[in-house]
Structure 1
Amino acid sequence: MDILFLFPLKDHHEQRLKEAFPDVNFLFDRKPDDPAIGTSEVIVTYGADLDAAHIEKAEALKWLMVASAGLEQLPQEEISKRGITVTNVRGIHKTPMAESILAHILSGKRGLKRIYEQQASREWSKKTGSRELRGSTALILGPGAIGGEAGRLLQAFGVKTYGCNRSGRKADYMDEMLSFEGLTDVLPEMDFIISVLPSTPETRGLLNKEHFLSMKDTAVFLNFGRGDLYDEQHLIDALNEGRPAAAVLDVFETEPLPEDHPFWGMDQVTVSPHASSLSGKYVDRSLDIFIPNLKLWLEGKAGDMDNLIDTERGY
């Protein structure tokens, strides 16, 4: 059986796979136009490099392993029509992303930006604007693996956490839960509004200018999910009107963020280059999901694999 990897692996990762599956023919660091795409039963990809034409050429493809959480860049309609099994690596981002979220929040609360600026200018001043995080409130849009870990860390700092998802169903490390319909009621009470939502038909354009303007003039909005959650001009307008007070953005409508984009020049905006999930353990954690799933696949137990995706729903 051929398994095609559309990205490079380090030598020790390749060796790990070969030792675990000596009878499998792994094809590492290939391109989507490689002829092997037509003979490979399994393709492992980050997702952005495959289009509908590639899926059509992948005549032997039965399982698509996406080494990322997002699927919006895949030709989902063509994949669904073919009945191709899709899995992803949902959950591996929770540690680095939750740590990134907390780092930005603590940096703002403890005045670290001001402290760094003072060091650069050799200025000794205790006027850093430092405040305590304890006693704050945080709304987490998408309290799944990443949102739940962020909630756990925030609770450890004495923050009351509110989780918000499509149904309002209970989620771990959330003190209270609400559905998308209840957003308007709670936004005025939140100190931090954190989105880790994926891109789905239900989440695209979920927030509008009225949502932003209903936030406190001291609130901080953080988007670590997807850039199509709102129209960026709506956020720009709201920030210029003073609500919310600031935004920390790791994802954008267009990436890389264009050099002439207003966000670059806004003091109240922190631009992060979609880097919150980066970690030296990314591939190791991906293989920790892929290897057990491949064992199940070879045993004919595809239905028992972890992180199976409903391509019609997008998650």
Structure 2
Amino acid sequence: MPTIVALHELTTEQKQIIKDTAPDYELIVGKYKELPSGTVAQADILLGWSSAVKEEALNGNSRVRWIQVWSAGVDRMPLQELKQNHVILTNASGVHGIPITEQIFSMLLAYTRNLHYAVRYQTENRWDKSGTFRELHGKTIVIVGVGQIGSTTAKVAQAFGMKTIGVRRSGKSDPHIDVMYTTEQLDQALAEGDFIINILPLTDETKGLYDTGRFDAMKEGAFFVNVGRGPSVDTEALLVALKSGKLSGAGLDVYEQEPLPSDHPLWDMDNVIMTPHTAGDTVHYNDRVLDIFIENLKAYRQGVDLPRNVIDYEKSY
């Protein structure tokens, strides 16, 4: 009997959905270290991934032919080995649209309405009305990496009365983007933004993308948000831009080094709002990943191409 091995905890209802969709498959659920040796290698479909399973999942005796990962980013996966083993890889892209969009705007609103200061003052029992209070309305937001998350972010931005500028490799239009640029026109787009939002995946092309030159290209006093990948930003260049006033502030959820060291200078910067890589977290996460998996599972059993989130190994996303 073909086998699905799920390395993430599933509710009774979620297990039943998988069984109802693929009654001819055995479903095994458990953390990798708790499963009998060889269980992963005998799986036809692997639901979940960790570095610990690599050797067993990719050895010469492995039956694994499809892996559904729990994250949108696959930059830490052994992509070339998966390609050589003819393993289909699907990610969780699309799961994060709502939580990451809300995280982005929580940072933008905290910054414009000085909520990050208010929270600090509250812990000191301090009544302080000083500061400049800004608005999102009428400002320009530049979204670098317009996919599902970027489009959702742009839709919300329009509801706030913002002008939306997008950047994507293809330059293809989006209904919620007022002006779309290609990645070759990135500097031109950055120069127009009051708020710059990075949602790019990590690839060879995006690693270190935001360097001194990129921050110099931004409008004076822009606010930079990174909910994409930490290594896409040269942290030293970011620190210089923040300290010089080139950037008025930043909202960061991802970092070059995670966890961020306790003595890192970012911790002590009043104009920086930080979260510990939680922008995509939500109580609805597992249900949304399962929705993607079930749609693909139906196609897999029929022997047709999977309709959602198949990773292109040449592009690394």
Question: Which band: TM-score by shorter chain?
Answer: over 0.9
In 2, the alpha carbon distance for the partners of 1:265 and 1:125 equals 20
The alignment's TM-score, normalised by the length of structure 2, stands at: 0.92
Is contact 1:140-1:195 (8 Å) kept?
yes
Q: What is the aligned partner in structure 2 of residue 140 from structure 1?
A: 143
In 1, the alpha carbon distance for the partners of 2:46 and 2:121 equals 51
Which deviates further from its counterpart, 113-122 or 65-74?
A: 113-122
Q: How does 1:25-64 map to 2 (within 5 A)?
A: 25-31=26-32, 34-46=37-49, 48-51=51-54, 54-56=57-59, 59-64=62-67
Residues 1:281 and 2:294 are matched in the alignment: no
In 2, the alpha carbon distance for the partners of 1:51 and 1:24 equals 23
Is contact 1:143-1:172 (8 Å) kept?
no
* Superposed displacement of residue 244, structure 1: 1.0
The alignment's TM-score, normalised by the length of structure 1, stands at: 0.93
Is contact 1:68-1:89 (8 Å) kept?
yes
* Superposed displacement of residue 216, structure 1: 3.0
* Superposed displacement of residue 275, structure 1: 0.4
Q: 1:258 to 1:117 in 2, by over 3 A?
A: closer
Q: What is the aligned partner in structure 2 of residue 310 from structure 1?
A: 312
Residues 1:295 and 2:298 are matched in the alignment: yes
Residues 1:86 and 2:89 are matched in the alignment: yes
Residues 1:22 and 2:23 are matched in the alignment: yes
In 1, the alpha carbon distance for the partners of 2:173 and 2:49 equals 31
Q: 1:314 to 1:175 in 2, by over 3 A?
A: same
- Percent of residue pairs bearing the same amino acid type: 36
Aligned-pair RMSD on alpha carbons? 2.0
In 2, the alpha carbon distance for the partners of 1:126 and 1:58 equals 67
Q: Which amino acid aligns with 2:157?
A: L
Q: 1:58 to 1:141 in 2, by over 3 A?
A: farther
Q: Equivalent residue of 1:27, what SS?
A: strand
Point out where structure 1 has 5 or more consecutive residues left out of the alignment: none
* Superposed displacement of residue 31, structure 1: 1.1
Q: 1:242 to 1:125 in 2, by over 3 A?
A: closer
Q: Which amino acid aligns with 2:302?
A: E
Q: Which amino acid aligns with 1:6?
A: L
1:108-152 deviation per Cα after TM superposition (whole angstroms, max 9, x unaligned): 112222333443344445435322210000110101000110110
In 2, the alpha carbon distance for the partners of 1:311 and 1:52 equals 20
> How many correspondences in the alignment?
314
Q: How does 1:1-315 map to 2 (within 5 A)?
A: 1-31=2-32, 34-46=37-49, 48-51=51-54, 54-56=57-59, 59-301=62-304, 303-315=305-317
Is contact 1:216-1:245 (8 Å) kept?
no
